[in-house]
Amino acid sequence: MKKSRKILAITAASALVFGMGACSGNPGTGSSSAGGDSKAPVEITYLHRLPDGEGMVKVDDIVARWNKEHPEIQVKATKFDGNAQQMIQRLETDVNANNGPCLGQLGYNEVPEFYSKGLVLDVTTEANKYKDKFSGAFGQMSTGGKISGLPQDTGPLVYFYNETEFKNLGITVPKTLDEFKTAAAKAAVAGKYIADFTPDEVAFWLSAQTAAAGGVWYGTSGDQWKVQVDSPASQKVATFWQDMIDAKSVLTLDRWGDAYGKALTDGQLIGNIAAAWEFAFLLDPLNDTPAEGQWRVAQIPDFGAGAKTGPDGGSGVAVMKGCEHPVEAMQFNAWFNTQVDDLTTQGLVVAALGNPKTPAKALKQFGGQEIMKELATANKNLSMDFAYIPGFSAVGPKAVETAAEAAKGTAKVADVFTTAQQASIDALKAAGLSVAQ
Amino acid sequence: MSVITSTAPRRPMSSADQATSPEGRTKTTGRQRMGRNTRHQAISGWLFALPFALAFLLVFVLPIISAVRASFFAQVASGGLYGGGERQDTFVGFDNFVTAATSLSFWRGIGRVMLFGVIQIPVMILAAMFLALLLDSFMVRRPGVWRLLYFLPYAIPGIIAAIVWSYLYQPELSPFAGAFPSMGGSPFFLSPQVMLASMANITTWTYTGYNMLIFLAALQAIPTELTEAARVDGASGWQITTQIKIPMVRGAALLATLLSIIGTVQLFNEPSMMRAVASWMGNDYMPMMMAYNTMMGQISPSGSGPASAISILIAAVAGVLAVAYAIVQSRMSR
Amino acid sequence: MSTVSTSRTKRQSSARPTPPPSLAPRRTARVITTIVLCFVLVYFMAPVVWLFIASSKTTAQLLSTGSFMFADLSWGANWSALLEWTGGNFPRWVLNSLIYSCVAGVAGTLISVSCGYAIAKFQFPGRRVLLAVTMGGLLMPVALLTVPLYVLFHQIGLANTAWAVIIPSMVSPFGVFLGQVYAESSVPTELLEAARVDGASEARTFFTMVLRLLAPAMLTIFLFIFVATWNNVLLPLMMISTNELKPVTLGLYGMSTYFSPNKGAMMLGALLGVLPLIVLFLSLQRYWRSGLAAGAVKG
């Protein structure tokens, strides 16, 4: 008697837990789907994690402008307060519970993962209508020929440097890897460093350099992935950094540790290869110091493939599964992501074509340089061949671990690529995808 | 669990303790009105317990059931480049558990956690007990202010504590860390040899005041008449402390230690915050970090299935350690 | 009943009873104790002092000036940055946090103490199972339960409401244990039986007598739930998406997840978040010593 009651209780409880699909089939986006009144506005929800910080044009303000002009398509933007992985998890949970937003911000490296999990819609036809408004990053939202959204911002690698210090040291912006090494050695003698090997950023930072050297990490052969992290292009990148680490002519500080900011304010670090979007905050620690206004942006040295750079981050806005109005969602998506000047204030290197104004803050920090022009050049030189695999998120942390060893001298930079090679194969296999041996 | 009851401060035994079987019918002491009394006890007992029991069901039991269910499933693609753009929720039996239990990094993490706990827990509990006894003695003016100040670290949000300690540990920024030698290319406090101690320090800083409050509450439950009577009988302050106060807070100490053991096995904030300034640690330095990052897709195989399996294993380890501790305690106190 | 009330009132009035002459310690002991406590205080407070100083600095000054030295006192600038990052919602979020933490603290304390009391003092079928299951619940890492909990709350329509933060925060297995350990040691069974003989209902006994006896434990449980609710980030991160419902720590966390957070502003936000707790703590002082009636029946 007592036992059966207990079982009953558990069954009831589990019915509550497992019966999720049954009762929740009423997504928040479907206000006008019932048919009845065809003039009721369509509602589009949009989940993002743009900073909305000081001095930026707020997302809600941009959206309000759209809503005013488009009474028939009302957009509600929601800011997510966690980090990128947490946002991905939230999107995945919501979409699976039939409660997802219509539009969601996705890093380019997450697009294949989302596609392979069936979490995004195929909006190829819609997307192609807007193709000529965007740079080559358009292709980053495409997976196996199917497009799931539009690009928002890009992260071509560029070279940030302190022009005044360079002049004092009698060096110029290096054009080749050999010149770079020579300049680094010369600066190091004076206790200055023109670059920092950043272990915590290697997954994107080194893969982008492989791309700049004309290589890729992942290719396909038929219906199978060809993992080639360890390619000759990568070897070249590895040697470049290993030589400088061995010569102690670069720093080896984590990018997101406070020691990096300290090296900047001390004037020890006077240059670095970094993603273009760093323009928005890299120099913040130098505000109101003598070094303010001394920095400039240039293209990265030739990694052996000519005027080419690689993608380090950036994201797009994808249409999520369960969105009932993909056409309208894409209309807003295309409009929003072409508000170039507004998005630039959010610290983005916008993927849409256009001539964004250099924000006042950047003009001050970069001594009046029209950096947006330089960044646009980098955007144009961005390698279009580089693609990510589903499960790339699990590759990065492994690579970072090895890179930290390389920074300490207990491993080689080349080992980072070997680790990433193995981690990539493991991730693909664990997800049940095919890998060519 | 019964251990807690049996080592609780010795007071007149409650009626609940006198019964050995939960129903209490078989071993009644022959009082009259027992039938009515039993029913009265059962109904009142459940009514008092019910609000919590219901909330617990909703907040713990149901999510745990769904986590257990998830641990037997995996999302698998059907080959190819993208698995055809869909993944199947597939029943995989104990595969997720086997993967986790045979993973070297899981057991390395457990090893680190145990090493951490063996040293950190006794230090923290003894320190908390010591402070509580001092504040409870009449040797301190304004104990309320001390109590508040010692408890404050617990009130500092974790993300802020992370920033504070990472500043204090990095030689470039810290007022003191520069005085320590670097170890194998890493700053002293962030090196593999010292990392566990650095984290233990953060935990101790955060939770000593918290545990002190538990002990203080227990000490406050001791009637002053008891200590006064002992004093009248000629007992010294030391004797009162060791023979009255400490035995009276044993229940609370056991509880605090058990919670610390469980908390240590689930240690997450400290290793995550330290990893931000010491990337050599990797994202599976401790088991809970491994579970979380598996769930977040940062360790493959990833997803809720493998992550749930890891957390169930963590729960099992924590349970075994807690029970082992409780058994050892009750043996020793006999 | 009548035997209890008289002797309890004596002690409640003052925050701390004066020591009986026989317990007054020697002066040297006092001095040594104070010195020890001061050393411990430096350990606990140094990081807090650092936080206070840091809240007055800009991000650049945090890197370029000495850790324990004041620089320009940019509290004003940090405050306006804080307001801008939070879209002017900072005061509102503090209020939200206060409401969530207070409601969860009060309700959570009541239900856990009542459950602990039931386990300690009543004998009901399933009592041991309840205790064991509650303990078992502690073993499962909460961070991993947030997602299933969110799915569940979404189904019952409570996601993105204040309840989604309050209800889970109320449930404190630890509170039940503390309540139980306490009820066992400081609620004499004789007292309950006397009350029953007097004809008082169980509810009346509980609310008028037992709760007072358990006051120190309740205060402790309340503080723990309050602080835990205040500092919880993962739960509201999952549950809350409406700006007006966010608690303050979530907003601070949101700032910290960007590449270049305004750290000075975050520190200020955190510091302002600790203030209500200090006020609360100080105002609860006088209730701290009130649960001493345990020995009262003896007389």
Write out pLDDT tens, residues C247-274. Answer: 998 988 888 888 878 888 988 998 888 8
- Residue A437 inside a domain? The answer is no
Between strands A157-162 and A271-275, the pairing is antiparallel
Do C63 and A265 form a contact (C-beta atoms < 8 A)?
A: yes
What is the average pLDDT score of chain B? Answer: 85
- State the pLDDT at residue B203: 94
- Bridge partners, A146 (sequence order): A143
* Secondary structure class of A42 (helix, strand, coil): strand
Do B108 and B285 form a contact (C-beta atoms < 8 A)?
A: no
Task: Enumerate neighbours of B (3 or more CB pairs within 8 A).
Answer: A, C
Helical ranges in chain B per DSSP H: 2-7, 15-18, 34-56, 62-70, 95-101, 104-136, 143-155, 158-169, 195-220, 224-232, 237-240, 246-248, 250-265, 269-275, 287-295, 304-333
| Contact criterion met (CB < 8 Å) for B83 and A431 | yes
- Examine the domain organization and report whether A207 and A318 are in the same domain: no
Q: What's the domain count of chain B?
A: 1
Q: Say whether pLDDT at B136 is over 80.
A: yes
| Contact criterion met (CB < 8 Å) for A93 and C147 | yes
- State the pLDDT at residue C24: 59
- State the pLDDT at residue A24: 37
Question: What's the mean pLDDT in B306-311?
Answer: 94
Selection from A380, A386, A299, A314 nearest residue A349 by Cα: A314
Q: Please give, rounded to a whole number of angstroms, the shortest distance from the CA of C99 to a CA of chain B.
A: 17
The confidence band for C7, taking pLDDT boundaries of 50, 70 and 90, is: very low
- Examine the domain organization and report whether A302 and A332 are in the same domain: no
What is the average pLDDT score of chain A? Answer: 90
Do B297 and B283 form a contact (C-beta atoms < 8 A)?
A: no
pLDDT > 70 in chain C, percent: 87
**CA-to-CA distance for B272 and B277, rounded, in angstroms?**
9
Other CB atoms within 10 A of residue B169 CB: 24
Q: Please provide the size of chain C in residues.
A: 299
- State the pLDDT at residue B6: 34
**CA-to-CA distance for B4 and B256, rounded, in angstroms?**
11
Question: What's the mean pLDDT in A400-426?
Answer: 96
Across the interface, of A144, A397, A407, the residue whose CB is closest to B299 is: A397
- Asked if B79 reaches chain A (Cβ–Cβ under 8 Å), the answer is yes
Q: Please give, rounded to a whole number of angstroms, the shortest distance from the CA of A423 to a CA of chain C.
A: 24
Query: For C118-175, how does the pLDDT look when each residue is reduced to its tens digit (9 = 90+)?
Result: 999 998 999 989 988 998 888 888 888 999 999 999 999 999 999 999 999 999 998 9
| Contact criterion met (CB < 8 Å) for B15 and C189 | yes
- State the pLDDT at residue B185: 79
* Chain A hits for C129, Cβ within 8 Å: none
Tokens of A197: 């090997």
Find the farthest-apart pair of alpha carbons in chain B and give their distance in angstroms, rounded.
85
Q: Say whether pLDDT at B58 is over 90.
A: yes
Q: Say whether pLDDT at B13 is over 80.
A: no
- Asked if A268 reaches chain C (Cβ–Cβ under 8 Å), the answer is no
- State the pLDDT at residue B4: 34
Tokens of A378: 């980098």
Name the one residue in this structure whose structure tokens are 């493939």: A305
**CA-to-CA distance for A99 and A87, rounded, in angstroms?**
14
- State the pLDDT at residue C23: 53
**Shortest CA distance from A143: residue in chain B:** B82
The confidence band for B60, taking pLDDT boundaries of 50, 70 and 90, is: very high
Question: What's the mean pLDDT in A342-354?
Answer: 94
**Shortest CA distance from A78: residue in chain C:** C241
- State the pLDDT at residue B170: 87
- Examine the domain organization and report whether A145 and A161 are in the same domain: no
- State the pLDDT at residue A208: 96
Q: Say whether pLDDT at B269 is over 90.
A: no
CA distance to A56, A349, B304, per residue, from A335 (Å):
19, 16, 36
- State the pLDDT at residue B242: 86
Which is more confidently placed, C17 or A101? Answer: A101
Q: Residue B179 burial by CB count (10 A; 0-12/13-18/19+): exposed, middle or buried?
A: exposed
What is the average pLDDT score of chain C? Answer: 84
What residue type is A408 in one-letter code? Answer: K
- Examine the domain organization and report whether A192 and A278 are in the same domain: yes
Q: What is the DSSP string of B58-82?
A: IIIIHHHHHHHHHTTEEEE--STTT
**CA-to-CA distance for B187 and C79, rounded, in angstroms?**
34
Task: Enumerate neighbours of A (3 or more CB pairs within 8 A).
Answer: B, C
Q: Please give, rounded to a whole number of angstroms, the shortest distance from the CA of C257 to a CA of chain B.
A: 10
Query: For C45-60, how does the pLDDT look when each residue is reduced to its tens digit (9 = 90+)?
Result: 999 999 999 999 988 8
**Cβ-proximal residues to B141 (8 Å cutoff; 6+ apart), any chain:** C34
* Secondary structure class of A157 (helix, strand, coil): strand
**CA-to-CA distance for B310 and B77, rounded, in angstroms?**
22
- Examine the domain organization and report whether A189 and A325 are in the same domain: no
Could you tell me the CATH number of the domain that includes residue A93? 3.40.190.10
- Residue B59 inside a domain? The answer is no
The confidence band for C63, taking pLDDT boundaries of 50, 70 and 90, is: confident
- Examine the domain organization and report whether A36 and A103 are in the same domain: yes
- Residue B300 inside a domain? The answer is yes
What residue type is B24 in one-letter code? Answer: G
- Examine the domain organization and report whether A256 and A350 are in the same domain: no
- Residue B322 inside a domain? The answer is yes
| Contact criterion met (CB < 8 Å) for B259 and C282 | no
- Residue A364 inside a domain? The answer is no
Selection from A221, A140, A90 nearest residue A384 by Cα: A140
- Residue A243 inside a domain? The answer is yes
Query: For A377-398, how does the pLDDT look when each residue is reduced to its tens digit (9 = 90+)?
Result: 999 999 888 899 999 999 999 9
- Asked if B281 reaches chain A (Cβ–Cβ under 8 Å), the answer is yes
Q: Say whether pLDDT at C2 is over 70.
A: no
Task: Tell me which H or E stretch contains C182.
Answer: helix C173-186
- Residue B81 inside a domain? The answer is no
Name the one residue in this structure whose structure tokens are 């989940």: A47
- Examine the domain organization and report whether A90 and A213 are in the same domain: no
Q: List domains and CATH numbers for chain C.
A: 2-13+75-298 (1.10.3720.10)
Q: Which of A302-316, B306-320, C264-278 has the lowest mean pLDDT?
A: C264-278
Q: Which long-range contacts (CB under 8 A, 24 or more apart) does B37-46 make?
A: B38/C123, B41/B15, B41/C122, B41/C123, B41/C124, B42/C122, B42/C123, B42/C124, B42/C125, B43/C124, B44/C118, B44/C122, B44/C124, B44/C202, B45/C118, B45/C119, B45/C122, B45/C123, B45/C124, B45/C127, B46/C118, B46/C124, B46/C126
* Chain B hits for C189, Cβ within 8 Å: 12-15
Query: For A56-113, how does the pLDDT look when each residue is reduced to its tens digit (9 = 90+)?
Result: 999 999 999 999 999 999 999 999 998 999 999 999 999 998 999 999 999 999 999 9
Q: What's the domain count of chain A?
A: 2
Tokens of B140: 């301190």
| Contact criterion met (CB < 8 Å) for A284 and C59 | yes
- State the pLDDT at residue C19: 55
Query: For A8-55, how does the pLDDT look when each residue is reduced to its tens digit (9 = 90+)?
Result: 444 444 444 333 333 333 333 333 344 444 568 999 999 999 999 888
- Please state at what angle helix B143-155 crosses helix B195-220, rounded to 10 degrees: 140
**Chains A & B: contacts with CB separation below 8 Å:** 142
- State the pLDDT at residue B149: 92
Do C261 and C251 form a contact (C-beta atoms < 8 A)?
A: no
- State the pLDDT at residue C289: 57
Q: Say whether pLDDT at C1 is over 50.
A: no
| Contact criterion met (CB < 8 Å) for A265 and C147 | no
- Residue A372 inside a domain? The answer is no
**CA-to-CA distance for A398 and A415, rounded, in angstroms?**
11
| Contact criterion met (CB < 8 Å) for C260 and A281 | yes
| Contact criterion met (CB < 8 Å) for A51 and C258 | yes
Q: Say whether pLDDT at B223 is over 80.
A: no
- Residue A402 inside a domain? The answer is yes
Task: Enumerate neighbours of C (3 or more CB pairs within 8 A).
Answer: A, B
Question: What's the mean pLDDT in A147-159?
Answer: 96
- Residue A193 inside a domain? The answer is yes
Which is more confidently placed, C234 or A329? Answer: A329
- State the pLDDT at residue A23: 37
Q: Say whether pLDDT at C3 is over 60.
A: no
Query: For A112-146, how does the pLDDT look when each residue is reduced to its tens digit (9 = 90+)?
Result: 999 999 999 999 999 999 999 998 899 999 998 89
Last residue of a domain, one of A356, A391, A411: A356
Look up the domain containing A337 and give its range: 2-151+313-356
**CA-to-CA distance for B187 and B50, rounded, in angstroms?**
53
Which is more confidently placed, C9 or B111? Answer: B111
Look up the domain containing B131 and give its range: 95-333
Do A315 and A106 form a contact (C-beta atoms < 8 A)?
A: yes
**CA-to-CA distance for B155 and B158, rounded, in angstroms?**
9
pLDDT > 90 in chain B, percent: 49
Q: What is the DSSP string of C150-162?
A: HHHHHHTT-TTSH
- ipTM exceeding 0.90? no
* Chain B hits for C231, Cβ within 8 Å: 155, 157-158
Selection from C215, C195, C51, C26 nearest residue C117 by Cα: C215
Could you tell me the CATH number of the domain that includes residue B294? 1.10.3720.10
Query: For A208-231, how does the pLDDT look when each residue is reduced to its tens digit (9 = 90+)?
Result: 999 999 999 999 998 999 999 999
Across the interface, of B78, B186, B300, the residue whose CB is closest to A391 is: B300
- Residue B269 inside a domain? The answer is yes
Tokens of A210: 């492989």
Which is more confidently placed, B251 or C183? Answer: C183
Tokens of A327: 């056409």
Question: What's the mean pLDDT in B54-80?
Answer: 92
- State the pLDDT at residue C294: 37
- Residue B70 inside a domain? The answer is no
| Contact criterion met (CB < 8 Å) for C128 and B1 | yes
Q: Which of A177-191, B38-52, C64-78 has the lowest mean pLDDT?
A: C64-78
- Residue B88 inside a domain? The answer is no
**Cβ-proximal residues to B47 (8 Å cutoff; 6+ apart), any chain:** C118, C202
| Contact criterion met (CB < 8 Å) for B276 and A397 | no
- Residue A366 inside a domain? The answer is no
Do B212 and B131 form a contact (C-beta atoms < 8 A)?
A: yes
Q: What is the DSSP string of C83-114?
A: HHHTTT-HHHHHHHHHHHHHHHHHHHHHHHHH
Question: What's the mean pLDDT in B43-71?
Answer: 94
Across the interface, of B76, B82, B299, the residue whose CB is closest to A112 is: B82
- Examine the domain organization and report whether A189 and A270 are in the same domain: yes
**CA-to-CA distance for A119 and A322, rounded, in angstroms?**
9
- Examine the domain organization and report whether A350 and A414 are in the same domain: no
